[in-house]
């Protein structure tokens, strides 16, 4: 199976979800939201991270020479921007404002842009893994109906985003030696653990409101990352070699 076919399949999935979103009513913003101040501060930071234009990622995808993959990335960016839109409206429904900047987002953006597509996707995948556990905490532990609705919608998308990144990274590392795979995986894990710990510290109060301790967040999220990294660096499947 070629890389074009694989990414093309993902483009189709993004299109299906976009059609489903267009047919589904937005959350009931007019109902308002009563959010704990810690959750407000946390959401403001995540909203900044979701609101990028994806220009650099799209440019790297275009340079890869796979039009199907480029189309899938554009659709991925559109989903992230929809997350930012919903978070902004959720904050507004609670009487809070969005932020224009946060240092953690700035660091992530600079890391992603250091080198080419593979490194950008590796850094982005860490963010996606963090998002999986974060939005699950909000969906499961949030006491506000509007917060739960928004978190569940975003989480449903994120559950597709991680496999999307895994598939492309598998293709990107297809010709990498076993020794190099081990070294890269270990370095990637160290980076992921550092990011996860920082998020746990920075968002600990909000997670606590949702019944998730900092320690549990770190433990759960690094396990998700380990499963993700194993999927990326496991021996290529027959379909990957063709």
The predicted-structure confidence for 96-131, as pLDDT tens digits, reads as follows 998 875 555 455 555 555 567 888 899 999 999 999
Query: In this predicted model, which residue has the larger pLDDT, 224 or 114?
Result: 224
Q: Please check the confidence at residue 61 and state whether its pLDDT lies above 60.
A: yes
Q: What is the pTM of this model?
A: 0.87
Average confidence (pLDDT) over 71-90: 94
Number of H helices, E strands in the chain: 11, 0
| pLDDT tier, 173 (very low <50, low <70, confident <90, very high otherwise) | very high
Residue 225 has pLDDT above 90, yes or no: yes
Q: In this predicted model, which residue has the larger pLDDT, 196 or 237?
A: 196
pLDDT exceeds cutoff 50 at 142: yes
Which helix (H) or strand (E) segment holds residue 153: the answer is helix 145-172
Question: 14-42, pLDDT tens digit by residue?
Answer: 999 899 988 999 999 999 999 999 999 99
Q: Is the dihedral of CA 53, 55, 61, 66 positive or negative?
A: positive
Among 120, 10, 126, 125, residue whose Cα is nearest residue 56:
120
- Given pLDDT bands bounded at 50, 70 and 90, which one contains residue 7? very low
Which are the contacts of 140, defined by CB distance < 8 A and separation ≥ 6?
Answer: 210, 211
Distance CA 213, CA 207 (A): 6
CA pair distance 7, 64, nearest whole angstrom: 12
Q: Which fold has domain 35-233?
A: Ferritin (1.20.1260)
Domain boundary assignment for the chain? 35-233
CB-count exposure of residue 177 (10 Å: 0-12, 13-18, 19+): exposed
pLDDT at 189 over 80: yes
Kindly report the average pLDDT of the chain as a whole number.
87
């Amino acid at each position: 199976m070629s890389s074009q076919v694989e990414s093309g399949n993902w483009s189709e999935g993004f299109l299906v979800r976009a059609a489903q979103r267009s047919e589904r009513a937005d959350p009931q913003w007019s109902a308002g939201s009563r959010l704990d101040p810690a959750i407000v501060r946390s959401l403001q930071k995540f909203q900044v991270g979701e609101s990028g234009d994806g220009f650099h990622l799209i440019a790297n995808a275009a340079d890869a020479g796979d039009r199907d993959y480029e189309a899938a990335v554009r659709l991925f960016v559109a989903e992230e921007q929809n997350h930012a839109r919903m978070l902004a409206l959720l904050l507004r429904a609670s009487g809070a404002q969005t932020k224009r900047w946060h240092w953690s987002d700035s660091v992530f953006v600079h890391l992603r842009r250091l080198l080419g597509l593979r490194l950008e996707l590796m850094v982005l995948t860490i963010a996606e893994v963090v998002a999986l556990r974060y939005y699950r905490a909000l969906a499961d532990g949030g006491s506000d109906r509007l917060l739960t609705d928004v978190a569940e919608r975003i989480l449903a998308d994120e559950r597709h985003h991680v496999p999307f990144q895994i598939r492309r990274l598998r293709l990107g590392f297809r010709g990498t030696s076993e020794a190099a795979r081990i070294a890269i995986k270990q370095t990637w894990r160290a980076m992921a653990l550092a990011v996860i710990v920082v998020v746990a510290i920075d968002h600990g109060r909000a997670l606590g409101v949702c019944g998730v301790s900092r320690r549990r967040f770190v433990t759960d999220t690094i396990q998700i990352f380990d499963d993700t990294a194993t999927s990326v660096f496991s021996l290529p499947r027959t379909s990957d070699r063709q």
